[in-house]
Structure 1
């Protein structure tokens, strides 16, 4: 539970800093907008304001009319950016309120535990809240960032203006813009998958498991083999997403630190209705007697969070390094009533 409090505290601090940064950006936009308004007023005051009303479009493009138009366009762009930032601030404020509520609840439950009373907090609910928050982040990225990148298409309007005078350049710019859009959207889809594999809801755990393995294969030259040996694909989504997170963390550590050449991941279901995760690599491993042992006092945040996830699901993890092979055996009960 200490790890959960630490996680919530860090997330809360990060969210508050993000909100302050956004509010500072909004303040700067307001100042810049005010300066633009003053500049426009100054230009208009230096001219015959009456004559501006009767100017044709061609006349307005001349002298100070062009400058007024540029400033007005910039003012509009700043207004749109301010609106976007204000929406993000509102989302961050809701997130802060939620984190403060969760932190207060976890603190109260810790006090109950410290008196020797029976543990009453619902660890299953804690993980559910964490995953619900990740799902929200994935949705926000999709609805805001992707839409923002899609706005790059509007730059094609500029290309349309030069199309008649320089068709070759226009076609080249169009191609570049479209490639940037496609690459950005594909990258964001990968981020969304990491935050919340949507295939878990649509296609089931087995398909999501193999999809995650394929993505891992694309990030390393290590040989990654995977086997799913369960008789059923039916699994509680909270357990499913936790297992995916565990496998991703283990593979990430092997790729970064093991200096090995192969990884083996096997998922089984034993007679006690427990999910059995068998993981191994042929890397350097580590000394299990030292504090770096992930089953003891590892200071790495990733492995600590993985260990916390397993504990919250009432699972167990064993680590062994023998004959040049580091192996993990993780057991997680599939019966949610035991959690």
Structure 2
């Protein structure tokens, strides 16, 4: 399948800076979640959330325009209906990375999910937007990024709309890459019981230790946002409240799949690899920048693996001996984790 050219963004370069702070594990201060700040009283009631438009793409794929009352704007959501669109189907939600996916860096444009799920009785949903947002509810509107209420949108507003339109069974799984790989576990903490299975591919989930805060702050700032508008100053307990490493016990009973490479060039890091199209500049970027980012993700994944083992929480963990921070490996991760998701969705 054709792959759009990888966007050249400052965010990717800034993330490399985070690796300087991410080369060694650091201890975290314990903490608990702070209550979310309420919106000021007296604001006029917003319209209800709902699907306000549907655009077909190809033979089956759709793009929904979903109005979010929480954010006060329309969010594009790409959907692949289940093989039998008239029958009941669980839902697999897929989150994108640092750019939010609206630039072409999303699951539909960069992987084979349309073909892979063609005969599967599952509705695949990929929201677009949320660059640098960590797909969380921010405590204050940001001058650059605006109002970010992604936890509310993804766990409260969107699911009933998807289930109502596509005959949902109420069962759902959630997977994400890079920034979205951390958000997957954070959303599960925020909405206990919402997801039966979680896939976290090449992510750093810690948010409350110095290393984790440094990475989060760079991701947010690389998109023009102010991290204090998200979770407050670094000492605020909200950072610890959104740290799945500290609250891993809450993940017990959910099917978990975690993965990362080492950053060393692997079988897909070649001139004819996915998305490279024989472009030497693309390959160099994938090997150097993607390799460095994935080496950090590998350390993060290993520490989370050890934490889950310490708590005796079952998880399927794939730590590859090579591979960079790139879509070809994330496509493989999704293929590998699908059987785990399917077993949880239909149990």
**Structure 1 and Structure 2 fold alike (TM over 0.5):** no
More helix by share: 1
What's the TM-score, normalizing by structure 1?
A: 0.22
More strand by share: 2
Greater C-alpha radius of gyration: 1
What's the TM-score, normalizing by structure 2?
A: 0.22
